[in-house]
Amino acid sequence: MSERPPHTTTDAGSPVGSDEYSLTVGAGGPVLLQDTYLIEKLAHFVRERVPDRVYHVKGGGAFGYFEVTADVTEWTKAAFLNEVGKRTPVLLRFSSVAGEEGYPDSDRDVRGWAMRFYTEQGNYDLVGNNTPVFFVRDPMKFPDFIHSQERMPATGLRSNNMQWDFWTLSPESAHQVTVLMSDRGTPRTWRHMNGYSSDTYMWENAAGKKFWVKYHFKTEQGIENFTDAEAKAMRAEDLDCHRRDLWDAIAREEYPSWRLEMQIMPYEEAADYRFNPFDITKVWPHADYPPMTVGRLVLDRNPENFFAQIVQAGFDVANFVPGIGPSPDRMVMARMFAYGDSSRYRTGPNYAQLPVNQPLSGVHNYNKDGPMRYHHSGNQPVYAPNSYGGPKADPQRFRDPSWFTEAAEIMRAAYEAHPEDDDFVQPGMLYRQVMTQTDRDHLVGNIVAHLSQGVERSMQERAVGDYWTRVDSDLGARIARSLGLKP
């Protein structure tokens, strides 16, 4: 480098004399309080962290673009999707769920898929996983579920026993646990896995017609997983294998890509569909709602700064754009509160003003002040209604996405049942009809290995008798035999 580097300054910009020596009274004397550069440096250092996400802590991500490849205006009026060939900048953050920062990337876990489209009508955030289903269908159980995957209160250790206790007492988890225990629970890289909205959302077209939708991002690199043994070996080789792989691939200009396939259900079909279509523990079978290719996602730019652009990225399930909205999926509704709230906790009420969180379109509203307020609107009126030219909402053009509900008593209850709702049917189909013999053998081996690490005998019995045997009797029998239990 021929250019001289800039001289060091304090945070206030004034030049400093040394990054090597503190200010002392003589070479052997005490350090002085008036060394404000040292004090600033230490004080800043101990404040370097923001609180971790409470889960999905360990992750990595990159920027890129989404390109529309098929006309979807029949189903949505979303401006960023309104033209074939249209490109929208995106940010995608991948993550593990349960482990802390520093945890091995290769460990068995679900992988998060948090995506932001920087559209001309504001940020659209789509936050899903690498699996099409989830462990629980009611947000009331969500914190308990996460607690069961974390650490024991006294020992501070992870506990397979605690995980199986929660899962076997929550039969709705069977579908997701089947996927998690298959080799899809140990993806080889983030590039070699799919991403799913998992949740159901609503699309609305320009004429006001509504549809229920699920998003499937299919990897164009092909699905590749570690076996259980390979994943465990990778722990010793590279804790950050997924973060490193993504960075290196993009640095090599081998840009990973995914095909967006949509499942689209006409609004009226939800009520009588054979499964509850809003139950996130179920998929919509492809034969019922064939996935349609509508776009392509490409990641082609690494972050310039991991902390500023990946750690501080605050995705919010409530960030919709006109033409896209929530569905009666209870998990969506709870997540619409919790994600924004997590960012407000981690980085403050003005987290959306951080560069990575700023929409490309403008922000105009009456929120004001608060810690770290960076953008402001000068002397704009601070209340609505006002007579002095402040922003005006337009209820005719921008109505909240809506659906009809019947007047009903307010209660705490399960979803209304649909004829074929059952927690074990779909994981059973996955085991019997979709998995190859090798997939099934690995599934059995992975479950047995997991159940053999610190899981009480009574818990193993429950896992076999009340859980896996109900997914499939052959599966239950194979696990029982391997664990030395009576089938």
Interacting residues with ligand NDP (CB under 6 A): 132, 179, 182, 184, 194, 216, 218, 283-287, 426, 429-430, 434-435, 439
Shortest CB 201 distance to ligand NDP, Å? 15
Residue 75 contacts residue 322 (beta carbons within 8 Å): no
Shortest CB 221 distance to ligand NDP, Å? 13
What would the two tokens of residue 283 be?
A: 């998929």
56 is catalytic: yes
195-196 vs 201-204, strand pairing mode: unpaired
Q: What is the DSSP string of 151-213?
A: B-TTT--B-HHHHHHHHHT-GGGHHHHHHHHSGGGSBS-STTS-EE--S-EEEE-TT--EEEE
Residue 262 contacts residue 221 (beta carbons within 8 Å): no
Shortest CB 430 distance to ligand NDP, Å? 3
Nearer to ligand NDP, 184 or 210 (CB): 184
Cα dihedral: 408, 409, 411, 417 (round 10):
-40
Instruction: Spell out a b/e string for 379-399, using b for 16 or more CB atoms within 10 Å of the CB, else e.
Output: eeeeeeeeeeebeeeeeeeee
How far apart are the C-alpha atoms of 371 and 110, rounded to whole Å? 34
Nearer to ligand NDP, 421 or 439 (CB): 439
Catalytic one among 123, 129, 319, 446?
Answer: 129
Q: Is 467 annotated in some ligand binding site?
A: no
Residues composing the chain: 487
Shortest CB 101 distance to ligand NDP, Å? 28
Give the type of residue at 465: G
How far apart are the C-alpha atoms of 206 and 429, rounded to whole Å? 38
E runs forming strands in 78-137: 87-96, 111-119, 122-129
What would the two tokens of residue 134 be?
A: 């989830």
What would the two tokens of residue 256 be?
A: 């990973």
Residue 60 contacts residue 313 (beta carbons within 8 Å): no
161 is catalytic: no
- In whole angstroms, how far apart are CA 231 and each of 28, 237, 442, 444? 53, 10, 13, 16
List, by residue number, the catalytic residues: 56, 129
Binding residues for heme: 339
Binding residues: 339
